[in-house]
Structure 1
Amino acid sequence: MLDAQRVAAIDCGTNSIRLLVADVDIDGTKTDLAREMRIVRLGQGVDRTGFLAEEAIERTLAALREYAVIIADHGVEKIRFCATSATRDATNSAEFGQRVERVIGVRPEVISGLSESRFSYVGATWGLPPGSRAVLDIGGGSTELVLGDKPLGPDVGESYDIGSVRMTERFLHADPPTLAEIGTCLDACDRLIGRELEKYPPVTTLIGVAGTITTVAAHALELPRYDSEALHGARIPVAELASACLALASMSVAERRDLPFMHPGRADVIGGGALVLDSVLSHLPLQTDEVVISEHDILDGIALSFVLPLDQP
């Protein structure tokens, strides 16, 4: 990799903040050096208040201080920090950006849902053989679904304001959630995205990315621990994934935390995300009976954006 540059990509979502340090060549060849994830719940209460809570900002800055050390230790040349749903929705995102810059040296880019979907698509599909596919990314505050067959971007893409934290805060208040709460949440998911998904062209390959989907997949596979290698490339029947969604949504938080693959910071909101996934699987016109799981996603797309023209419309 004679022309490689060492970069740091940061994905700041509603529930987690993640770091990828990688060497990226001008042709898009990428060598990962470090991957980190912290559950910081930056989007705590944002759906209700429209405001980033101070304690959530402090959790995020604490994670960034750890990331700053990793970035310095690896001699990173360039940093790109992309913030998504929670920061898009917050009225105090500018103040948050100033505080981030003092810690990490760059100000967050608050990217649009369209950019988020493009980065997720390229991150998940870059390097795969040509072919038509859809990429589904369920985050804490939003869900991106994109379809395409081009290496650098989707033909059809949309971002929906529906995600694990948002739906949990709105609908799933009991522990465990009541059947009525689960039904109301599913009805809301169907109303918010179901009719839109039914308008999509037929999907022959569906790739699921990011923590909500990989956690549901780990449950479907009954993994003894969270295993990225076992998950990446796994093909899970749609019926088994849908069954895992409803099982997770029906559990108490304590029961979810006891699952060996469950990140403790995801246990209280995975139910909302699982119900979003169940709704997508119910309404998307699938011409396949399986979902392909990928550990590559928006974070990889951000890293590739240093050398690929992903910011172009």
Structure 2
Amino acid sequence: MSHFAVIDLGSNSARMSAWKIDSEGDYTPILKLKQMVRLSEDMGDERILKDAAMDRTIAVLKDFHDQAAQLPDLTLKAYATAATRQARNQKRFLKRVKEEAGVDIEVIPGTKEAEFDYLGVINTLPIQNALLMDTGGASTELILVQNHKLQNLISLPVGSVNLTEKYVHTDPLSAGGLFDLMSTINRMFNGIWWLRKAQNLPMIALGGSNRTLAKIQRRKEHFTNFEEIHGFRMETAEINKIFREVIDSNLEERKAIPGLSKDRADIIVAGLIPVVTMMRYIDSDRLVFSQNGLREGALFEHLNGVQELMGDVVTEMGEEQNPMKN
């Protein structure tokens, strides 16, 4: 028996999952941790991780490491995504994490993040053809799946935190601000040629902001375990109704919406813009939610490898379309 654990250090949150793996290769989840760290807070155009953000992130990573270290025969992987990827002081931060938390972090490109998302979804949901969207704090990954195979992917350098800092300047967001933000995202989608192949396909949603839609809806429907959303499906009309409620509310009102975390209330408006815009862009009639993404994808890569699942993948990075640089 062995143990495998994955730390996912995002722009907004840090998460860790651990599994027990038996001699047959069967896995059992034994640990799941999450802390909001806001690593990308106030990075701005200078792309510098701030000391306060690094301090609280390192404290969380040390706690994760200490808990994982109690597991026998452990393989621990730690991956950092958009905030660390974009940071000009990345080397200093990684050195501090190693020295103070005891964690070696691998900074992965957005395309690798998207591949992990694909593996996490395709192995746990009955997906044949779909568009996957993972909206994080500072990046959004899009993955086109056709006939169960990964066909196209792209990582766009926009997410709930950096979009909020650049575009959300009033509370609630003004009509003009909403128009500017949705127009920016729509222009980015216009530059992705293969999205025409996603027309009318169902969407699979990952990421904290997107999952909030499901949690709010499940609270409305009085589900006992409202956070158990893997495979939960919502129709477009339900999504639009919740989005309207969110954008019509000020910060204090958003904090009171059942299913919406108070820690996410200040960034949820911008965080939902990509998925709501994409639903209209490809004329999709339903959204299916996945709780499995990067960490689970890393598990399946560890267990099985990925070659048999990969098609002729076209990968792209969206840096040239980055509105944060304007």
Is the TM-score greater than 0.5? Answer: yes
Which of 118, 122, 144 aligns to 2:119? It is 122
- State the shift of 1:119 in Å: 0.3
The offset of 1:216, in angstroms, is 1.8
2:137 paired with 1:140? yes
Aligned counterpart for 1:249 among listed residues 241, 247, 250: 247
SS in 1 for 2:262: coil
- Give the distance between the partners of 1:181 and 1:80, measured in 2 at CA: 40
Task: Quote the Cα distance in structure 2 between the aligned partners of 1:170 and 1:200.
Answer: 31
1: CA distance between counterparts of 2:106 and 2:3? 20
Greater Cα offset, 174-183 or 70-79:
70-79
SS at match of 1:177: coil
Matched residue, 1:32: 29
AA matched with 1:274: L
**What is the CA-CA distance between 1:227 and the residue it aligns to?**
2.4
Aligned partner letter, 2:37? V
Q: How does 1:88-237 map to 2 (within 5 A)?
A: 88-129=85-126, 131-149=128-146, 154-196=150-192, 198-202=195-199, 204-223=201-220, 227-229=226-228, 231-237=229-235
Q: Secondary structure at the match of 2:20?
A: strand
The 3-state SS of whatever aligns with 2:234 is strand
Name the CA distance, whole Å, in 2 between partners of 1:73 and 1:202: 48
Kindly tell me the number of residue pairs found equivalent between the two proteins: 306
What do the CA deviations read for 1:53-75 (whole angstroms, capped 9, x no partner)?
11000110111122123212333
When structure 1 is superposed on structure 2, of 131-140 and 103-112 the one drifting more is 103-112
Distance 1:104 1:308 in 2: 30
User: What CA RMSD, in Å, does the superposition of the two structures yield over aligned residues?
Assistant: 2.4
Using the TM superposition, give the Cα deviation of residue 203 of structure 1 relative to its aligned residue in structure 2, in angstroms: 5.0
5+ long unaligned stretches in structure 2: 314-326
Residue aligning to 2:298:
302
Contact 2:205–2:287 (CA under 8 A) maintained in structure 1 = yes
Aligned to 1:13: 10
TM superposition shift of 1:78 = 1.1
User: What's the CA shift string for 1:161-219, capped at 9, x where partnerless?
Assistant: 11111111111111221122111111111122245274344353321112111102222
Structure 1: unaligned runs, 5 residues or longer = none
**C-alpha contact (below 8 Å) 1:246/1:274 kept by paired residues:** no
Q: Aligned to 1:34, what secondary structure does the other structure show?
A: strand
Amino acid at match of 2:105: P
Shift of 1:25: 5.8
Is the Cα contact below 8 Å between 2:65 and 2:103 reproduced in 1? Answer: no
> Which residue is 1:52 aligned to?
49
Q: Could you say what secondary structure the match of 1:73 adopts?
A: coil
Calculate percent identity across the aligned residue pairs: 27
With normalisation by structure 1, the TM-score equals 0.89
TM-score by length of 2: 0.85
CA–CA distance in structure 2, aligned partners of residues 201 and 27 of structure 1: 38
Letter in 2 for 1:260: P
Deviation at 1:221? Answer: 3.6
Asked if 1:86 is matched to 2:53, the reply is: no
